[in-house]
Structure 1
Amino acid sequence: MTIEFSKPLQAIETPIPGVVLYNLPVHGDNRGWFKENWQREKMMALGLPDFSPIQNNISFNEKAGTTRGIHAEPWDKFISVATGRIFGAWVDLREGPSFGTVFTAELDPSQAIFIPRGVGNAFQTLEDNTAYTYLVSDHWSADAQGQYTFLNLADSTADIAWPIPLEQAELSDKDKAHPHLADVVAMPPKKILVLGANGQLGLALREEYAGRGEVEFAGRAEFDISAPESYAGRNWKNYSTIINAAAYTAVDEAETVEGRRHAWAANVQAVAELARIAAAHGITLVQVSSDYVFDGTAATHGEDEPLSPLGVYGQTKAAGDAVAAGAPQHYIVRTSWVIGEGNNFVRTMASLAGRGIKPSVVDDQVGRLSFTPDIAAAIRHLLESGAPFGTYNVSSDGESQSWAAIAAEVYELAGAQGTDVTGVSTAEYFKDKVAAPRPLNSVLSLTKIKSTGFEPPQASARLKEYMAAGTSGA
């Protein structure tokens, strides 16, 4: 065997999604050779996911023809040859359209391959005294064996062209007994956990992910984020994502002694625990934020604007953002003026219009409505598009409006007169009331979310659709 020295580090895509073959620079002279077998920074620059390996294993094989597999394991692996040469075969055993896809290659010490969870892998040694090494993203355990998926090495559908025929190779009895592809139970994807699944956004997420068996929805009865016992007894290794749509949102009640405690428990302490779990298990955390983290003095709020909350609710949401950002894989989705199923401003105005009431509505707070189906769609887009982790503003698009202007538009859409709505200042509206301070400008910049390929719909169009769906009868 002759190793090609000093070839550049290169990533080569394969027919199996997520399986990437790497050429590794090997430096040699008369004494032998040296290589950087795993170099996190360089490999991530080539697109390798930061799969956080925590165990390093070596398999030594005395004779050529030793054949192992095909095993799909519940963790990611990065495999390379230490000495000798192997023929590798990989079969996608994950649920989905690529199930059964095959890729084969010969590997020597100048190559490595990344195998995602659920892709079956097998190796046949082509030289005596061959050893290969692999990094894995989880500790082996007896419990994990129950999550393995296997395929018979001689499966006719995969039709792998083994260099050394299997009848001449060294195989274990267990590997000979593995099922053929028609009988393989595909490995399901890791779960997505949606918390706060019965709130306005939670209901929209239920609709967005309808029919997706790997998405688990938990309302407060199933998972109370403020209760420590909710976090125990759950195997977090089986989750890829936590979407936290749960929060304490009683803005004015948060200014009371009891409300302050509840707000900090749900919006900060719970988020800190979710961030800790996410960091420990390589989970992506999606945290829903609010325009209340700003004081409303900027004309438009960008994602990088320093946090400047006015009231207790805004302070807890800002603190929640800070701790969520501690999770290595996180999306903070900042939104404003949320409208969905359940009680909200538009439903209230539609109800007043239907009863002939002429309300006074604040006219010096401006922003854009955010409809929950669009927030849910944006969250899914971020997760599935591979957008860089970080903070993203999400609201409807279009011209900013005051609450009074929106109320007048609702009245018109409900068949009443927009002139029935009278504008008042925030100070006048809340005079002699116990109320939290509000940001006067809640307009969020949408440039960053648009750069990922997501186009938020126009608020005016969404409002018409929402009203046409029967809101006036709420």
Structure 2
Amino acid sequence: MTEFGKSLAMTETTIPGLLIAELPVHGDSRGWFKENWQREKMVAAGLPDFGPVQNNVSFNDAVGTTRGIHAEPWDKWVSVATGRIFGAWVDLREGPSFGAVFTAELDPSRAIFVPRGVGNSYQTLEPDTAYTYLVNDHWSPDAEYSFLNLADETTAIDWPIPLSEVEISAKDLAHPRLADVTPIPPKKTLVIGANGQLGRALRDAYGDGQAFEYATRDDIDLADPDFVGARRWRDYGTIINAAAYTAVDLAETPEGREHAWAANVTGAAALARIATANGITLVHVSSDYVFDGTKQGEYSEDDQVRPLGVYGQTKAAGDAIVSTVPQHYIIRTSWVIGEGKNFVRTMASLAERGVDPKVVDDQTGRLTFTTDIAAAIRHLLETRSPFGIYNVTGAGEPMTWAALAAEVFAATGHDRSRVTGVSTSDYFASATGPVAPRPENSVLSLQKIEATGFVPAPMLESLALYL
């Protein structure tokens, strides 16, 4: 019998992510009423904001009708409109809880949230039972499903009515035993810009498992309108956007301006639409160039952006777009060093070739190695830190480019005094093409990322290891 007057409450079960819910039902002699799905209240009570897109109802005439065990690659909110059921849920996801079982009775005053990959089944305990479920994806023949036999001996579900006495479809009777079940894999992570400096560091950090995909510009063109429909996006849990146009001086030319806006803004907008529509976490890498460098002291994540040049303007615009995605991390960084051509390799090469360089000494910041950015991204995702903007650079006392060049010379066994400091204006005095304005202060505060438990490596230690 339906219990009236409960308070809304969510309770964890023995299966990770499977939540049983007590629902307030209001009734009298005329019947009853309940809010079967109320996003604001239920999210506040602890239900994931899973974004349902479809509502289904299964009506069952007789007592003992038994259906399942089906695991689909989407989340479900399961409840009963009329009648009563015995439900059994089996974890069919890859991982340590594979095969775990949870059972409970559901009536109109109790519902359950079934996460992606957990097998769902039920047996009706009253006639004329209407079983309802909200799902957050549309059915697709391309989706990966898993099924388990209702009579599997390993899970040994204690059905109230023996299976030999109830109505079961021939299809459900033919499902495999647990040992033969294909587990539902976790949602995938897609790294865009996989051939860049950060993309290569992310590949090193995550490896080449089935849960990770790496896309180059040849694989994905963010400016292509067909990109949005190029994949079954509900199979992805995270997109890491490591692609960007970073030629700050060329961005000041007409052609460069077009390319910078296409990659850094139009591309970011396409990813933001996909992430928002499909409940994906979007990780986007930004830059110190969103600031004008006039602040005294470190820039925090809350400081207003004031970009000087085209590159900084496109990065600031991309940040604003990505910030509208419900699940987003924006990683602001500076002076990035990774595999390929970069400042440190250039200085080391000049030292070895006997060239005594003039290096800018009126810009201050910290080096950031791509290994640290990759580690910070992985930390934020794995710890499920609050969404938002995070500064990520190397730690330690800020330095000028000239001081860092001297450190490279010394670390490679050369005289640091061979490096001469010059102003930015003097350095670019003989430039024949456009020169983008640079922020003089690129120092980013690390307090917010450190508060999550991530401690960036000291940049001079990372520099020594890199060399």
Does the TM-score normalized on the shorter chain lie above 0.5? yes
**What is the TM-score with the length of structure 1 in the denominator?**
0.94
Does 358-367 or 173-182 show the bigger shift? 358-367
Match of 2:406 in 1: 408
User: CA contact under 8 A between 1:225 and 1:246: conserved in structure 2?
Assistant: no
Shift of 1:227: 4.0
Superposition CA RMSD, Å: 1.6
1:148-227 to 2 correspondences below 5 Å: 148-227=145-224
Following the alignment from structure 1 to structure 2, what is the Cα–Cα distance between the partners of residues 448 and 8? 37
Q: What are the equivalent positions in structure 2 for 1:31-50 lying under 5 Å apart?
A: 31-50=30-49
Given that residues 222 and 270 in structure 2 are in contact (C-alpha distance below 8 angstroms), is that contact kept between their aligned partners in structure 1?
A: no
- Between the aligned partners of 1:266 and 1:282, the Cα distance in structure 2 is 23
Find out whether 1:451 has 2:451 as its counterpart.
yes
Please say if 1:8 is aligned against 2:10: no
Q: Where in structure 2 are the equivalents of 1:348-359 lying within 5 Å?
A: 348-359=346-357
> Sequence identity of aligned pairs in percent?
67
Q: Cα deviation per residue 1:443-463 (whole Å; 9 max; x = unaligned)?
A: 111222222222222212211
The superposition leaves residues 46-93 of structure 1 with CA deviations (integer Å, 9 ceiling, x where unpaired) of: 332221101111112122211110000121100112222211111111
Distance in 1 separating the partners of 2:303 and 2:276: 25
* C-alpha deviation, 1:329, in angstroms: 2.0
SS in 2 for 1:350: helix
Q: What SS class does the counterpart of residue 332 from structure 2 fall into?
A: strand
Q: Partner of 1:435 in structure 2?
A: 435
Whichever residue aligns with residue 442 of structure 1, its letter is S
SS of 1:147's equivalent? coil
Q: Which residue of 2 aligns with 1:131?
A: 130
The 3-state SS of whatever aligns with 1:297 is coil
CA distance in 1, matches of 2:171, 2:210: 31
**1:471 alignment counterpart:** none
Find the aligned partners of 1:63 and 1:421 in 2 and give their Cα distance.
87
Give the partner amino acid of 1:36: E
- In 1, Cα distance between equivalents of 2:415 and 2:98: 58
CA distance in 1, matches of 2:42, 2:386: 17
What's the counterpart of residue 272 of structure 2?
A: 275
Cα offset for 1:328? 2.3
After superposition, what is the alpha-carbon deviation per residue over 1:249-271, rounded to whole angstroms, capped at 9, x for unaligned?
10111111111111111111111
Gaps of 5+ in 2: none
Matched, 1:104 2:110: no
8 Å CA contact 2:390, 2:449 repeated in 1: yes
* Aligned residue in 2 for 1:147: 144
Displacement of 1:231 in angstroms is: 4.5
Residue 59 (structure 1) aligns with? 58
Structure-1 residue corresponding to 2:284: 287
Matched residue of 2:189: which SS? strand
Match of 2:362 in 1: 364
Q: Cα deviations across residues 369-419 of structure 1 (Å, max 9, x unaligned)?
A: 111111112112222222222211111122211111111111111111222
Further displaced range: 427-436 or 68-77? 427-436
Whichever residue aligns with residue 370 of structure 1, its letter is: T
Deviations 1:95-152 (A, max 9, x none): 22221111111122221111111111101111222222111101224x15x5221000
1:401 and 1:48 map into 2 onto residues whose CA distance is 47
The one of 253, 257, 266 equivalent to 2:254 is 257
CA distance in 2, matches of 1:40, 1:340: 44
> Which residue identity is paired with 2:443?
V
Larger deviation: 173-182 or 402-411?
Answer: 402-411
The unaligned stretches of length 5 or more in structure 1 are 468-474
**In structure 2, how many angstroms separate the alpha carbons of the residues matched to 1:401 and 1:102?**
57
Distance 2:368 2:14 in 1: 40
**Paired residues of 1:86 and 1:125 also in contact (CA < 8 A):** yes
Structure 2 Cα separation of the partners of residues 105 and 396 of structure 1: 51
- Structure 1 distance, partners of 2:462, 2:21, is 47
Query: Which letter maps to 1:115?
Result: V
The answer to whether residue 302 in structure 2 is matched with residue 300 in structure 1 is no
User: What SS does the corresponding residue of 2:294 show, helix, strand or coil?
Assistant: coil
